[in-house]
Amino acid sequence: MVVPVALILKIVTTVLQGLAILLTLFRLWYRFSIRRFWWEDTWAAVALLCGIALLVSHWVQSVASPGIAIAAYWVYTFAFASVIWAVRLSVLFSITRLIYPDKVSRFVACVITTLFVLLWGGVVSSKAYWCGSNLSWYKRRACSMPRSLDIYELSTDVVSDAILVVLPLRLLWSVKLPENSQRRIILSIFSSSVVVTFTSIFRAVCRLKHLNHLTVAVSDFQVAFSLIVCNLLVTVTYIYRIWRGDGEVGTTDVDETPFSHSRTTSEPARNLTTIDLDHLYDSGTNIDVGESKVTESQASAPQYNVTPCS
């Protein structure tokens, strides 16, 4: 008995999505257990819920009655876009929390966040309008998007993913890390969105060529890769801490605010561009990519706790 290629791809993508979901669950549990649950984790939770809805609706489409299959297709369509954009917002907020919270950085972060939300809404509303205005596709249980919408969605994917790659590279390029391996790790983590971009391009090519079965498989791969990328910063730093033997999980001092630079007058001046990856993410530490040296008076200056877009 020959197993259809479409079924094999569906099983493979289901396994990958299942692993991505488990990875996201681990990330949320870990962040909650050490009391570091911030906005990026909230967006990761949104991506998790949408990912579960997408996975369930995908299988329901193939086994349910026509009416339920159509409803499942609607869920799949909206859940797909929501997973991708929720992951991007999670990565963006991760970048925002790690950089030094000056006014310019917060303003740029707010602008990019607004842009992402608008692009997300544009993609979802465009698909809803196109598929809702002509219900003839109900007979074949799949809505064929026009070429213009495919190009628009690809453009938003490329632009947003490029921002998520260039922004942290630009901010972290001048940061001095204690070890070259740490620099490679953190820059590689933030550059991993390129993988999702390539998947988006391949998916757009499949749609333009009307390779429907392959398009669905690539879409599922894109969701799995996106969820994995979303959790890399947490899981990799977690593994790095365990590998370095820096103590048990959850023993880190708790900082109740995501943005803080706690320095006292007795603390000596230090190089603000030297960071420790062990506490880079789990302790809520920010990165200063500005001046490399501070004086005693600057080190003892009042510090302010801020939140994104405040």
CATH of the domain at 40: 1.20.1070
Which pLDDT tens digit goes with each residue over 277-309?
Answer: 434 445 444 444 444 344 333 343 333 333 445
- Does a structural domain hold residue 213? yes
- How far is residue 140's CA from residue 220's CA, in Å, rounded to a whole number? 20
List, for residues 245-260, the tens digit of each pLDDT value: 654 443 333 333 333 3
251 within a domain of the structure (yes/no)? no
If one compares 290 and 96, the residue with the highest pLDDT of the two is: 96
Q: Give yes or no for a contact between 28 and 215, defined as CB atoms under 8 angstroms apart.
A: no
d(CA 52, CA 135): 26
- Domain with 88 in it: 7-244
Identify whether the C-beta of residue 14 lies closer than 8 Å to the C-beta of residue 57. no
Give me the amino acid identity at 127.
K
231, burial (CB in 10 Å: exposed 0-12, middle 13-18, buried 19+): buried
pLDDT, residue 176, reads 58
Q: Report yes or no on 285 lying in a domain.
A: no
- Any idea what DSSP says for residue 274? B
Q: What is the pLDDT of residues 149-179, one digit of tens each?
A: 888 988 998 899 888 888 777 766 655 555 5
Tell me whether residue 158 is in a domain.
Answer: yes
89, part of any domain: yes
Alpha helices in the chain (DSSP H): 5-33, 39-63, 66-98, 103-133, 147-172, 180-191, 193-208, 212-244, 296-299
pLDDT band at 119 (very low <50, low <70, confident <90, very high): very high
Q: Is residue 163 part of a domain?
A: yes
Q: How far is residue 193 CA from its own chain's centroid?
A: 8
Number of domains the chain contains: 1
- The one-letter code for the residue type at 125 is S
Rounded to whole angstroms, the Cα distance separating 136 from 54 reads 23
Burial class (CB in 10 A: 0-12, 13-18, 19+), 71: middle
Question: Is 260 part of a structural domain of the chain?
Answer: no
